Amino acid sequence: MDKNSAIGFGLLIAILIGYFTYSNYEQTKFKEQKLADSVAYAKAHPKPLIDSTKLLAASAPDSATQAVNDSARRLLPQAFRGAAEAVVLENGKLAVTISTKGAYPVAAQLKAFKTYSKEPLYLFNGAANSMNMILPADNGAIATSDLFFVATPRTEANGDKALELVADMGAGKKVTVTYALAADGYMMQYNVRLSGMPATTVPLSWDMKGLSTEKDVYNERLATQIYYRYKDNDDDYFTVNEEKNKTLEKTVAWLGYRQLYFSTALIADEGFSKVNIKSNTKYDAKDFVSKSTFTFDLPVKAGSEQAYNFKWYIGPNDYKTLKSYNIGLEDMVPYGYGIFTFVKYINKWFLLPLFTLLYSTVGNVAIVLILMTIIMSLLLSFFTFKSYVSSAMMRVLKPELDELREQCGDDKQKFSIEQMKLYKTAGVNPLGGCLPMLFQLPILLSLYYFIPTALPLRQASFLWAKDLSTYDSIASWSAHIPVLSSVYGNHVSLFTLLMTASSLFLAIYNRNNTPQDPNNPMMKWMPFIFPIFLMGFFNKMAAALTFYYFVSNMLSILQQFIIQKFFIDEKKVHAQIQENKKKPATNSKWAERIAEIQKQQQAKTKK
């Protein structure tokens, strides 16, 4: 066992010892009071699927046949003869390999990133990727993927790179495809010009095979989504859960394919119509995430000349980078959706600026997470203090509640009414202890979305975790164990164990400092069942997330101990309650309504 793992196990053992010691102590104390009163498999990323320069394979004919073929080819227009070659268009961040047969990208390497296994990172690579137009012809139709293009690369004065590809089909028909890549950035210009071909419709299809770049292809597939924005600025998305087939009725401004940390999007100046999307993640292979096909129609103008201007984003899911293009691409960063859409505003306007500031200052993501936890605790400290005061008041009132319970016997309605009267005269809010949780819940949900998408966490190591963006595995097995493998997984995450143990410790600490309702035993055990239930779910989550929750739990325990030990005097609390009882009671209309409903229910019970 290495040093980092030993530290982790040491923390776990310390929490468990503290948990059982404190539990035994509190149980003994409770009994005495009763007599007196009555918590992968690590896959290696494969080499690139193919050598992108070998795009065409054909058997070599004998010399006589070859001579006849060469002679026949020389009679064909340039677009119908030639050999497929690979031309690389690149800048400091992106290298796009383009085939001269079809004039489309067959590979895209993000130069600043590596795969989990430290190989060059390709978002896609291989002949399964294509961009194909169907062109009108005298005898039917011609696919641009079957045409051979003459490539002319050039470098502009400002350092931008460009590549022009021309396919001359004869009889005045020509296809010109131009790619341009700025000296710095992930956005590529993609323009197509059709000459001498009047058309009524120009269908376009885009095929893509997204490669796996992370530790766990299962999680990558869960995160695979298709985004799109209509020309009217309405937008939507769907998650590719195994197999999806969707048709979009309105004109689309851009289409985006998103994986866990990287995306590609095709943007059209004039939009796409009749869009159909087919995407599938249901494969046994571990080297790629999904296969997707997008088909759509391009607008057609009168005459024999058609020109189409596109932009093509290939890069990371970095919120600020995507937002800089000002066309809504930042929506591909899933900061919150569905019933939790509201948390994306917390992520965009609070957590992202805070994380960016701390990371630019500190530079260590683990320290950043710890600092964020401390900041959240300080921001909520006012409500936390109020919660602990409320809990102290409930403890002081316990003898009076016990007396009321004996007086009312089995009449729960009467006890409830008398209990509310006691709380009101004593100035106690029974829901006061819920306030910190209510305010913490949006933050916890925001972090659930934010942390797994934070790019700086990718491949950042801390203690025994080699990559905080995925689960930390201290033990794994290949055999499938029914139920366990499906729910928990085939590995053990130490940060998840620490999170669960600290959650249990916090639960028992809270229980022993809050009076329990003997008539609701389920509430007594729920705080212990819930962390164990979540352990299987979080075992597959990013280590950064479970680390944050672990640190948050430990800070909560420390905060509670300090407040209750040094800031809350139960004698003063008791004196305050007695003073509150002397004040004249004033009932709000809401309280009066509740009391009236309780009386009506009590009357019905007696009949």
Task: Quote the percentage of the chain above a pLDDT of 90.
Answer: 47
Establish if 271 belongs to a structural domain.
Answer: yes
CA distance 214 to 543: 14
Q: What is the CATH number of the domain that holds 114?
A: 2.70.98.90
Tracing tokens 């596109």 back to the chain, one arrives at 310
CA distance 470 to 214: 8
Query: For 522-547, what is the mean pLDDT?
Result: 82
When mean pLDDT is compared over 85-89, 171-175, 530-534, the highest value belongs to 85-89
CA distance 523 to 484: 27
Helices 570-582, 381-396: axis angle to 10 degrees equals 80
Establish if 373 belongs to a structural domain.
Answer: yes
Residue 241's pLDDT band (cuts 50, 70, 90): confident
Q: pLDDT higher for 559 or 315? A: 315
Looking at residue 113, what is its pLDDT? 96
Looking at residue 30, what is its pLDDT? 46
Looking at residue 480, what is its pLDDT? 82
Q: Tell me the pLDDT tens digit for each residue of 342-364.
A: 899 999 999 999 999 999 999 89
Of the ranges 31-35, 155-159, 226-230, 436-440, which one carries the lowest mean pLDDT score?
A: 31-35
User: Do 322 and 370 reside in the same domain of the chain?
Assistant: no
Last residue of a domain, one of 333, 358, 373: 333
| Residue-wise DSSP of 143-185 | EGGG-B-EEEEEE-TTS-EEEEEEEEEETTEEEEEEEEE-SSS
* Domain total of the chain: 2
Establish if 124 belongs to a structural domain.
Answer: yes
Looking at residue 564, what is its pLDDT? 76
Contact (Cβ atoms closer than 8 angstroms) between residue 390 and residue 433: yes
Establish if 199 belongs to a structural domain.
Answer: yes
Q: Tell me the pLDDT tens digit for each residue of 91-133.
A: 999 999 999 999 999 999 999 999 999 999 999 999 899 999 9
Q: Is the per-residue pLDDT at 55 higher than 50?
A: no
Helices 398-408, 3-37: axis angle to 10 degrees equals 50
What is the DSSP secondary structure assignment for residue 241, as one 8-state letter? -
Looking at residue 74, what is its pLDDT? 58
Tracing tokens 């010109």 back to the chain, one arrives at 176
Query: For 398-417, what is the mean pLDDT?
Result: 73
Q: Is the per-residue pLDDT at 7 higher than 90?
A: no
CA 164 from centroid of its chain's CA atoms: 38
Residue 37's pLDDT band (cuts 50, 70, 90): very low
List own/partner pairs for 133-140 with CB under 8 A and 24 or more apart: 133/175, 133/192, 133/202, 133/203, 133/204, 133/298, 134/202, 134/203, 134/204, 135/175, 135/194, 135/197, 135/199, 135/202, 136/197, 136/198, 136/199, 136/200
Looking at residue 138, what is its pLDDT? 67
User: Do 347 and 319 reside in the same domain of the chain?
Assistant: no
Taking the CA atoms of 522, 523, 525 and 529 in sequence, report the sign of the dihedral they define.
positive
CA distance 607 to 601: 10
User: Do 435 and 557 reside in the same domain of the chain?
Assistant: yes
Looking at residue 254, what is its pLDDT? 96
Query: For 423-434, what is the mean pLDDT?
Result: 66
Q: Which residues of 11-45 are buried (b: 16+ CB within 10 A; e: fewer)?
A: bbeebeeebeeebeeeeeeeeeeeeeeebbeebeb
C-alpha triplet 72, 73, 75: angle, nearest 5°: 70
Residue 141's pLDDT band (cuts 50, 70, 90): confident
Q: Is the per-residue pLDDT at 583 higher than 80?
A: no
Residue 58's pLDDT band (cuts 50, 70, 90): very low
Establish if 92 belongs to a structural domain.
Answer: yes
**Three-class SS string for 482-499?**
CCHHHHCCCEEEHHHHHH
Arithmetic mean of pLDDT over the chain: 81
User: Do 293 and 347 reside in the same domain of the chain?
Assistant: no
CA distance 489 to 479: 11
Residue 63's pLDDT band (cuts 50, 70, 90): low
Q: Tell me the pLDDT tens digit for each residue of 182-199.
A: 988 999 999 999 998 888
Looking at residue 139, what is its pLDDT? 66
User: Do 174 and 304 reside in the same domain of the chain?
Assistant: yes
Looking at residue 59, what is its pLDDT? 37
Last residue of a domain, one of 277, 300, 333: 333
User: Do 375 and 446 reside in the same domain of the chain?
Assistant: yes
Phi, psi of 190 (to 5 degrees): -140, 110
Range of the domain at 376: 343-581
Looking at residue 535, what is its pLDDT? 87
Provide the 3-class DSSP secondary structure of residue 386.
Answer: helix
The alpha helices in 38-150, defined as continuous H runs, are 63-73
Q: Is the per-residue pLDDT at 2 higher than 70?
A: no
Query: For 33-53, what is the mean pLDDT?
Result: 39
Establish if 548 belongs to a structural domain.
Answer: yes
Last residue of a domain, one of 293, 311, 333: 333
When mean pLDDT is compared over 145-149, 378-382, 501-505, the highest value belongs to 145-149
Q: pLDDT higher for 602 or 247? A: 247
Establish if 16 belongs to a structural domain.
Answer: no
Of the ranges 225-239, 431-445, 478-492, which one carries the lowest mean pLDDT score?
A: 431-445
What is the DSSP secondary structure assignment for residue 429, as one 8-state letter? -
Contact (Cβ atoms closer than 8 angstroms) between residue 8 and residue 463: yes
Task: Quote the percentage of the chain above a pLDDT of 70.
Answer: 76
Q: Tell me the pLDDT tens digit for each residue of 17-33.
A: 665 565 555 555 544 55
User: Do 384 and 240 reside in the same domain of the chain?
Assistant: no
Q: pLDDT higher for 44 or 476? A: 476
CA distance 107 to 48: 10
CA distance 564 to 389: 9
Q: pLDDT higher for 155 or 593? A: 155
Query: For 364-373, what is the mean pLDDT?
Result: 94
User: Do 291 and 420 reside in the same domain of the chain?
Assistant: no
CA distances from 573 to 166, 444, 563 (A): 85, 31, 14
Looking at residue 357, what is its pLDDT? 95
CA atoms within 13 A on the CB side of 163: 23
Q: Is the per-residue pLDDT at 497 higher than 90?
A: yes
Residue 210's pLDDT band (cuts 50, 70, 90): very high
User: Do 220 and 323 reside in the same domain of the chain?
Assistant: yes
| Residue-wise DSSP of 450-472 | HGGG-GGGTT--BTTBS-TTS--
User: Do 160 and 269 reside in the same domain of the chain?
Assistant: yes
Looking at residue 404, what is its pLDDT? 73
Looking at residue 49, what is its pLDDT? 35
Residue 11's pLDDT band (cuts 50, 70, 90): confident
User: Do 322 and 386 reside in the same domain of the chain?
Assistant: no
Contact (Cβ atoms closer than 8 angstroms) between residue 468 and residue 365: yes
User: Do 354 and 433 reside in the same domain of the chain?
Assistant: yes
Strand partners, 519: none
CA distance 149 to 105: 13
Q: Is the per-residue pLDDT at 544 higher than 70?
A: yes
Looking at residue 352, what is its pLDDT? 95
| Residue-wise DSSP of 279-339 | EE---S-SSEEEEEEEEEEE---SSS-EEEEEEEEEEE--HHHHHTTSSSGGGGS-S--GG
Return the biggest CA–CA distance within the chain: 115
Establish if 471 belongs to a structural domain.
Answer: yes
